[in-house]
Chains A and B, each alone.
Chain A
Amino acid sequence: MHDRVRIIQAVKKYKDLTAVNKVSLNVKAGEVVFIIGPSGSGKSTLLRCVNRLERLNSGQIWIDDAEVTNPKSDIRKIREEAGMVFQSFNLFPHLTALQNITLAPVSVLGLSKDETIEKGRRLLERVGLSDKEDSYPEQLSGGQQQRIAIARALAMEPKLMLFDEPTSALDPEMVKEVLDVMQDLAKEGMTMMIVSHEMGFARNAAHTVVFMDNGEIIEKGSPSDIFENPKEERTKKFLQHIL
């Protein structure tokens, strides 16, 4: 499998704070990569650099043969192919669930309304919310909103999905419904980069776990490597806190 995402010596600074420090990471097509680490470790920042919501100070990021970090690249094209799911869902509150899903396909891809509505309904079915197509975000629970947000990202048929703490804002009883949708996606072979603390889920779904601290990758390996035999002291400490 070829590398879908290549992060090469990525550095992101905010004034005198180095949020991401010389991070290199490759993600293969179909790979599910979990990024864990204490808050402020730079994992969300790194993820947000992958679709250039944040710009790197130095280093490169590639998605297949498109260089994200090159200012000349068509960033819109790149973002179409890299779906993102946010911690706070960020659904559009003035649009219904279905309209949230169809907005981008209609206005970015220029697809016909009928076509996208058809597709939108299929996606709603896929995330188990067929009966909610006319609901507005405020009428939906957090878990439902996040599932709609996933469907919204999938509507662009991305080849990569970025999840930025997708379950952190959810009540515990709603976490599972979102993880189930993500699990299905992983099974279907979607390339996924997930920033999350759902260790149980990481064990089941991840191919690779990356531990970050202070803007650096401390350790990387299979879930069993990281969770059962962490080599680095900092990884051990972190896992003790969280498990």
Chain B
Amino acid sequence: MAQINEKLRAALPKVTIEVSDGTLIPGKGDKTLFTAWRIAFFGAIATLIALPLLKPDPFKDIILFIPDGVITTFEVTFLAIFFSLIVGLLTGLGRISRIRPVNMIATVYVEVVRGIPLLVQLFYIYYALAKFVKVPDITAAIIGMTICYGAYIGEIFRAGILSVPKGQMEAALALGLSRSQAIRKVVLPQTVKIILPPLGNEFIALLKDSSLVSILAVADLLRRGREFASTSFDYFEAYTVVALVYLIITLFLSRIIGIIEERMKTNAR
């Protein structure tokens, strides 16, 4: 029986199923995907250029109206990425820590955060914070995004650290390094390479999810679009531009990540 299973398993094709919130990462290896990426990316840019030329009213006004929002979206995204990397690293280390309370806190944090929708978290943090301290809307948004993504990125760090072969830690310890030195000098440098692709994915997902902060009176790209539409009633046109701009940004980012991945493959260091 065991043998039959063995054979069956050998006969099955090896498939890795990767599903994430990010866009597909186009690499040159996958021709179809790369072509699809080009069509979507250049199509979106062409459309965004053509629309104000063909129909200046209202597209020209919309395009002049939303750049502030793009800047805010970038601001929220990059600050949230920065802080969630810090939180994520600490969480990842906490999740593998041998100190029980530390491990517990990190694990509970991940469990709780992953069990609550981001939108609910944002509302909660926004109004919970408002109850005790007055913080600007954008700060609340960044805190909310950080708390949420810190947990996800923590899991990426954890998986990355665990994927470094055990022998690396042993060799470092055998040389007299302390555990924390071994992690800093031997394990983490190797982890970074492994987790770069999933991290990139997470960044794209974060950028897209940053549109949720428009609910918190943060004037990001989506909210600027909505503001425009609510005065001019050009809902269709405004959201078309908003969608195109998001698409261009995420496709651009995913291509950059694809390039980084290809570089890392050819130059394994």
Binding site for B on A (CB under 8 A): 51, 53, 76-77, 79-80, 82-84, 86, 88, 90-94, 103-104, 107-108, 136, 138, 149, 152-153, 156
Contact = CB atoms under 8 A, between A and B. Distances in A.
Contact of B185 (A51, A83, A107): A107
A79 B174 contact: yes
A128 B68 CA distance: 63
Interface of B: 165, 167-168, 170-178, 181, 185-186, 189-190, 193, 268-269
Contact of A108 (B171, B177, B186, B269): B177
A103 B185 contact: yes
Nearest to A136: B269
B181 to A, nearest CB: 6
B17 to A, nearest CB: 28
B141 to A, nearest CB: 36
Contacts of A156: 175-176
A104 B175 contact: yes
A153 B175 contact: yes
B168 A92 contact: yes
A86 B269 contact: no
A156 B170 CA distance: 16
A55 B56 CA distance: 76
Contacts of B181: 107-108
A90 B269 contact: no
Contact of B167 (A90, A94, A107, A153): A90
B165 to A, nearest CB: 8
- Pairs A-B, 8 closest by C-beta atoms: A90-B171, A80-B176, A104-B175, A90-B167, A84-B174, A108-B176, A79-B176, A94-B189
A11 B133 CA distance: 59
Given A107-B185, A136-B269, A86 B167 contact: yes
A80 B181 CA distance: 14
27 contacts: A53-B174, A76-B176, A76-B177, A79-B176, A80-B175, A80-B176, A88-B165, A88-B167, A90-B167, A90-B171, A91-B171, A92-B168, A92-B171, A92-B186, A92-B190, A94-B190, A94-B269, A104-B175, A107-B177, A108-B177, A108-B181, A138-B268, A152-B175, A153-B174, A153-B175, A156-B175, A156-B176
